[in-house]
Structure 1
Amino acid sequence: RGLRQLGAAALALRLAYGAWVHVAHACFAAARAPRAPTLRGGVLPGAAAARGLRQAVVRFYYEDLVKPRRVEKARGWQESPQSQRGIHTRPMTHIANPDVTTLRPGAPRLAQRVHGLSDVAAQYDGFILDTYGVLHDGESVFEGVGDALAQLGAAGKPCVVLENFAGRARVLESQLSEMGLDLAHVAGVVSSGELAHTYLRTRGHKLGSRVLWITASGPDRGGAADFFDGLEGFTLVSQVEEADFILASGVEVMFAGTPREVRMPVVEDDFEAGRFKRKFTRVFRQAIRRNVPMVVANDELQVFRGGNSSAHVLPGRLRQHYELLGGRTLKFGKPSNAAYEEARAVLDEAFARGAGRLDEPGQSEPEPRICCVGDSEDTDLRGARNAGFDSAFVVDTGDAAQHFAGQELTSEGVIELCKEENHRPTVALHRFAW
């Protein structure tokens, strides 16, 4: 009994010491943190300390109590004989693909290397397609794309385009057609800008009517020139103090649509270290003090254009900076589940029209088997995984082209590139071709 009491006292002392360390660290961090603004524009000296203390308690509870128990439980499950009976690597997917290499829990998940879509088309009922880096390079359509879409259409596999594009879907369709892409074999086009437009049209009154617009330069505003068509009651403002919310559909023009337009051509290096970031920071802090939210019509972070090594900043980078300063954001596009659900709805309509799979009479309707084709690890692969879809990783024409330049495409190489387990694709192919 005495030993048990001594052990209990030692445990209590250990837990108290751990809690004290976390609280001391939080108080030190809070002392160095900026004071939090109140609703009246003043400061609340204890807010930062209270927030740090709360985070310390949560961190102590999770890291010292919950996490060790989860690790021990996971180890025991993996080592038990029952864990060897079934292989479950993707609980959200509806694809049973015997050709894809699957491993037991805890082991790396390999991607199947295929030569073209003809190797996997029979395993799926429909496809969700990225455009930039998969179907085209921003100027022209890649070789073999038209034939692949025609082959998928002939096989009864409807395809939906899902792109992080700040403009309306009809503008994206027009741009794809001008590049030479035949949309006859595409069931529909979904853009992040269209999702943002729909939200503002149906629920935008919750945010207000006065908009501070940040967009792209040029007469077409990066495809968003007609964004406010069909949006009644919204007014563009030229002062932060007048704005009810910020709409970010680009990064090159601030206070767009007003006489006070500020042009800011930005690339990655300039944004991280130049005067452009300071201009955004000054305006963003004024907006955050007034609790002004930001609506992001394209949550992509950056893009490389025309073979240039400099990365051009996209609205997703502004969203990250706004959140870092403490602002509230509402983002649209990949990798959020809402974007994939919209693409799924378009595919469901195609299935209902008979363009997809045919079910046997008297049988319950099975869940459609959908594969997402993309070239980006952070948006396409992660978004597909989170939405419960399989994914096909296009290597030679997308973001991974430099990584695999002069190298053979292997499953191990894909694993090395896709560091996180949730980003690993189901299949990997050189390009979008049949």
Structure 2
Amino acid sequence: MTAPTQAAGLSELSDRYDVLLCDVWGVIHNGRESFPKACEALARFRAQRGPVVLISNAPRPNGPVIDQLDGLGVPREAWSHVVTSGDATRVLLAQRAPGPAWRLGPDRDGPLYKGIDLEFSDLEAARFISCTGPFDDENDEPADYRERFEDTIARGLEMICANPDIVVQRGEKLVYCGGALAQLYESLGGKVLMAGKPYQAIYDLALEEAASRLERPLDRSRVLCIGDGLPTDVRGANARNLDVLFVASGIHGAETIGPDGLNNAAVADLLRQDGLAATWAMADLVW
């Protein structure tokens, strides 16, 4: 595999693409504050080139995610539409209604279930698990759930995981997400279904939204995916044969950013270890 081409800014690439599918957490904000230069880059692409669809593994429908973006100061000019793992996961949940399900995750993920005729129960009565993340992502670790998972796997319960991310950067801290619990569940022999990145359903939604905003048919060779996560953003783009811009300063920043900025050799080595490829790389998303 060849190393990604290092780019100084999105302006170097913009004439090659008509559509951006851009990750959210780690690229345009860190959960505590937005990144103005990244927002500016997206706004300029949208104004000059074409639609920007934000594609997030947030385990909630896009409404609450848009509210969060507004609260963090991400300008509406920086995006055309927001598609979330929650949007795609609601289809899986509706197919299994009324359940009952064991709801695993924090209360803030309640909007995922709004309007779905799904019942909840304790673990003993549940027919499947609906997981959005740990109950307390500031303190819980996947191992805390091992004993409960061993019991539910023995009963043959399936897990629907609404957030495939393993970790996410919150401020300066990495916290566990639903994907870490799903990873443990599978390692113990359980069955897991997911619809967010890197899986097909969320890309179908995002490309459909992008196509509806173009004046000509969508050309997949002119779609660029932007993200900082190898197992989600990069793997998902590779599986769809879409070009990808890897933003190194996100969750892999400790391995890829040195005193002089982006270490492209380290990026190439990291990609090679996972059998992945990126078309482009930059330290932070800028114009």
Normalising to structure 1: TM-score of the pair?
Answer: 0.62
Which one-letter code corresponds to 1:326 in the other structure?
G
Matches within 5 A, 1:120-199: 120-199=13-92
- In structure 2, relative to structure 1, the CA distance for the partners of 1:242 and 1:421 (3 Å cut) is closer
Give me the whole-angstrom Cα distance separating, in 1, the residues matched to 2:281 and 2:150: 43
The alpha-carbon distance between structure 1 residues 265 and 380, as it changes in their structure 2 partners (threshold 3 A), is closer
Q: Which residue of 2 aligns with 1:225?
A: 110
Which whole-Å CA distance do the structure 2 matches of 1:195 and 1:288 have between them?
24
Greater RCO (CA < 8 Å, at least 6 residues apart):
2
Q: Give the gaps of 5 or more residues in structure 1.
A: 1-107, 254-263, 360-364
Decide whether aligned partners of structure 1 residues 421 and 236 sit closer, same or farther in structure 2, where only a CA change above 3 A counts.
closer
Residues 229 and 267 (structure 1 numbering): CA distance in 2 closer, same or farther, change over 3 Å?
A: closer
Residue aligning to 2:134: 251
Correspondence 1:284 to 2:169: no
Aligned to 1:55: none
1:346 partnered with 2:198: no
- Shift in CA distance, 185/231, structure 1 to aligned 2, threshold 3 Å: same
Alpha-carbon shift at residue 337 of structure 1 (Å) = 2.4
Distance 1:282 1:339 in 2: 31
Q: Which residue of 2 aligns with 1:210?
A: 100
| 8 Å Cα contact 1:141-1:180 kept in structure 2 | yes
SS at match of 2:116: coil
**CA pair 152-407 structure 1, distance change in 2 beyond 3 A:** same
Please show how residues 404-423 of structure 1 align to structure 2 within 5 Å: 404-409=257-262, 411-420=264-273, 422-423=275-276
Residue in structure 1 matched with residue 197 of structure 2 by the alignment: 334
Question: C-alpha separation between the residues in 2 aligned to 1:315 and 1:411?
Answer: 30
Q: Distance in 1 between matches of 2:242 and 2:177?
A: 26
Aligned match of 1:293: 158
Q: Which residue of 2 aligns with 1:321?
A: 184
Match for residue 400 of structure 1 among 248, 252, 261: 252
Q: Cα gap change, 1:378/1:407 in structure 2, threshold over 3 Å: closer, same or farther?
A: farther
Pairs within 5 Å for 1:35-74: none
Distance change >3 Å, CA 215–CA 394, structure 1 → 2: same
Per-residue Cα deviation, 1:198-250 (whole angstroms, up to 9, x for no partner): 3323x224xx520110112xxxx24x122221112x22112x23111110012
Deviation at 1:368, TM superposition (A): 5.3
Alignment of 1:39-118 (within 5 A): 108-118=1-11
Report the alpha carbon displacement of residue 185 of structure 1 after superposing the two structures with TM. Answer: 4.2
Deviation at 1:184, TM superposition (A): 3.3
1:200 alignment partner in structure 2? 93
Confirm or deny: 8 A CA contact 2:27 2:284 kept in the other structure: yes
Gaps of 5+ in 2: none
Equivalent residue, structure 2, for 1:307: 172
Kept in 1, the 8 Å contact 2:26–2:168? The answer is no
Shift of 1:317: 1.6
Provide Cα deviations, 1:290-335, integer angstroms capped at 9, x if missing partner. Answer: 2211110111112232213xx4221112112222222221112111
Deviation at 1:183, TM superposition (A): 2.0
Per-residue deviation, 1:131? 0.9
1:97 corresponds to: none
Q: Secondary structure at the match of 2:112?
A: coil
- TM-superposed deviation, 1:265: 5.8
Counterpart secondary structure, 1:413? helix
1:381 to 229, 234, 238: 234
Greater share of residues in strand: 2
**2:119 paired residue among 215, 232, 235:** 235
Whether the 8 Å contact between 1:109 and 1:421 is mirrored in structure 2 is: no
* CA 1:150–1:230: 2 relative to 1, 3 Å: same
Kindly indicate whether the alpha-carbon contact (under 8 Å) linking 2:19 and 2:52 is maintained by their aligned counterparts in 1: yes
Q: Percent identity?
A: 27
TM-score by length of 2: 0.91
Task: Name the stretch that deviates more: 111-120 or 135-144.
Answer: 135-144
CA distance in 2, matches of 1:306, 1:127: 25
Structure 2 CA distance for partners of 1:285 and 1:110, relative to 1, 3 Å: closer
Amino acid across the alignment from 2:253: A
Q: Pick the structure with greater CA Rg.
A: 1
Cα pair 2:15 2:49 within 8 Å, conserved? no
* Counterpart-to-counterpart distance in 2, 1:177 and 1:338: 26
Task: Give CA deviations for 1:349-400 in whole Å, capped at 9, x if unaligned.
Answer: 111xx3xxx57xxxxx85551010111122111111111100001123x123
Of the candidates 134, 139, 161, which is equivalent to residue 266 of structure 1? Answer: 139
Superposition pairs of residues 22-37 of structure 1, within 5 angstroms: none
Contact 2:4 2:278 in 1 (8 A): yes
Partner residue of 1:430? 283
